[in-house]
Amino acid sequence: FWADVVVEPADLGVLSLLGPAVATAPVLQALGLAELPAEGTAVELSNGGFIRHLPGQGGQIDVVVPRAEVEAWRDTLVAAGVRPAGVWAYEAHRVAARRPRLGVDTDERTIPHEVGWIGGPGVGAVHLDKGCYRGQETVARVHNLGKPPRMLVILHLDGDADRPSPGDPVLAGGRTVGRLGTVVDHVDEGAIALALVKRGLPADTELTTGG
């Protein structure tokens, strides 16, 4: 390293805000903002925390603050009209927004292009022009010369109440064409899931998973 690095624990908590009401005046006032930060960027708070706008579909604002202040921030946001929700609702929103979770919707072969983690601020988590990291040559080659072998899609599930599990193979005509990721029950979309499938599959392909 060119500089001395000291790793220290950060005792922080996260409040995630989802939905179209995030950009309303009462919520912005509660956050102390005139407007939301641009996608993929963050603004610092005076108390040492920050507010970040996650890139991708659906929109998500994370309020990252010292853990001791989480409850006070929650009460302030609820007073501004934000409705508390549990992790099931969060996961359903995440899947509907096609936002993958590392280790659940990805495997050991996943490259950033397959899941939308490419392009820099406002686009993805992996920048094409900055830094040096393992696998950078593969990322550059796919970006400049071709397309990734798989793509992240949303599946609408039809079947009984026994849901398939993350990691189950996805089949088309009895042939494995991908792997299943997060499975959720969405209030509007019903049973949906994320999956990594081979690029080039027609959008109307009938897929099976979970037996």
Q: Tell me the pLDDT band of 172, cut-offs 50, 70 and 90.
A: very high
Residue 157 is assigned to a structural domain of this protein: yes
Indicate whether 25 pLDDT > 80: yes
Query: Do 105 and 199 sit in the same domain of this protein?
Result: yes
Q: Do 108 and 63 belong together in one domain?
A: no
Q: What is the pLDDT of residues 178-208, one digit of tens each?
A: 999 999 999 999 999 999 999 989 988 999 9
Nearest to 95 by CA among 158, 188, 172: 188
Is the confidence at residue 121, as pLDDT, over 60?
Answer: no
- 183 and 126 housed in the same domain: yes
Report the pLDDT value the prediction gives residue 114, as an integer from 0 to 100.
92
pLDDT tens, 59-105?
789 999 999 999 999 999 999 999 999 999 999 999 998 889 999 99
- Count of domains observed in the chain: 2
Counts for the chain of helices (H) and strands (E), in that order: 5, 9
Q: Is the model's pLDDT at 1 over the cut of 60?
A: no
The answer on 53 and 104 residing in a single domain is no
Indicate whether 197 belongs to any domain: yes
Residues 70 and 119 in one domain: no
- The answer to whether residue 127 scores a pLDDT higher than 90 is no
C-beta atoms surrounding 183 within 10 Å = 22
Q: Which domain holds residue 24?
A: 12-84
User: Which DSSP string corresponds to 103-169?
Assistant: TTS--TT--HHHHT--SSTTT-SS-SSS---TTHHHHHHHHHH---SEEEEEEE--S-SS---TT-E
The verdict on 76 and 126 lying in the same domain is no
Q: How far is CA 43 from the centre of its chain?
A: 19
